[in-house]
Amino acid sequence: MAQRDPHMTSRGPAAPALKGGGWHRLGNALKTTVLLAGLTALVLVIGQRLGGAQGLAMAGLFAVVMNFGSYWFSDRIALAIHGARPLPYEQAPWLHEMVERLAARAGMPKPKVYLLPTAQPNAFATGRNPSHAAVAVTAGIVDILDRRELEGVLAHEIGHVRNRDTLIGTVAATLAGIISYAAQMLFWFGGSMLSRGDDEEGGGLAGALSNLGLLLVAPIAATLLQLAVSRSREYGADATGAELCGDPDALASALLKMERGAEAIPYDRAPATSHLFIVNPLHHGGVMSLFSTHPPIPERVRRLREMSARMGQGTRSRGGWEYAY
């Protein structure tokens, strides 16, 4: 017989007292503002160097339009890119109920549930806010994870939604993409665009070299900014997810299994969205791992194990949660 969930109230699951509070949310909002301001500034500077005042105005307009589109359509775009389809309740009622329980504990509506047609074990969340969110799991994830581990993965993704990471990740990727596109455009069109404005102002070779340096550094800076926010938010979602499901060890075990699955079954569809997944679907080794959008799995597991020890859990403890599957 299933034990009564101590986190349940007469009105249903109670939202857990997650760590952080107002100051934590304020800190996240500040980091987000700095990130987006930095990326937008890079877009504007490149636009100004390319076309003066007119280029600045066009770059600003382009950034606004792209961010507006990302805000309203990010979930549909991400799901369509990966060929995700809605997962009917009748096909996996236990999974839908698991998502609903975790969402209730997080104090948010139940996200829509989607299925990705790939054998690689993975998952991601998308949407502009908790009221317009979706959680997608791959077909391969249920083949290697038990339900305890899968609950940890779903809790991680709901943690992303609760922490408002999904929208920021999409907008940051959009701005970084604009910067990379500008650099590629200048590469193909040659050096005339680099030196034209500075020749008119008397800058000559020095101005052209300055522009060239900017266009080489800007994409790298954009990538580093994106990596910084992406990695920190993965750690945050791990912690939030572990608290939601009450079982850090389950999430740690799932991460290790999914990492091995990602190595064995590559999935390189839409690499620009790789940061959305719980485990990087693009396997990178050696030096390239330094530029991964995800923090190292061993470090994530170490933090979760430490969290488990602080919670006083045993390896297989459910943290007070028991379900009859």
Which residues have a catalytic role annotated? 157
Q: What string of H, E and C letters represents the secondary structure of the chain?
A: CCCCCCCEECCEECCCCCCCHHHHHHHHHHHHHHHHHHHHHHHHHHHHHHHHHHHHHHHHHHHHHHHHHHHHHHHHHHHHHCCCEECCHHHCHHHHHHHHHHHHHCCCCCCEEEEECCCCCCEEEEEEECCEEEEEEECCHHHHCCHHHHHHHHHHHHHHHHCCHHHHHHHHHHHHHHHHHHHHHHHHHCCHHHHHHHHHCCCHHHHHHHHHHHHHHHHHHHHHHHHHHHHHHHHHHHHHHHHHHCCHHHHHHHHHHHHHHHHHCCCCCCHHHHHHECCCCCCCCHHHHHHCCCCCHHHHHHHHHHHHHHCCCCCCCCCCCCCCC
Q: What angle do CA 306, 312, 316 make, to 5 degrees?
A: 85
The answer to whether 234 is a known ligand-binding residue is: yes
Rounded to whole angstroms, the Cα distance separating 223 from 172 reads: 10
The answer to whether 283 is a known ligand-binding residue is: no
Rounded to whole angstroms, the Cα distance separating 249 from 117 reads: 28
Tokens matching residue 82: 């990966």
The answer to whether 82 is a known ligand-binding residue is: no
In this structure, are residues 40 and 63 in contact, taking their beta carbons and an 8 Å threshold? yes
Per the annotation, where are the binding residues for Zn(2+)?
156, 160, 234
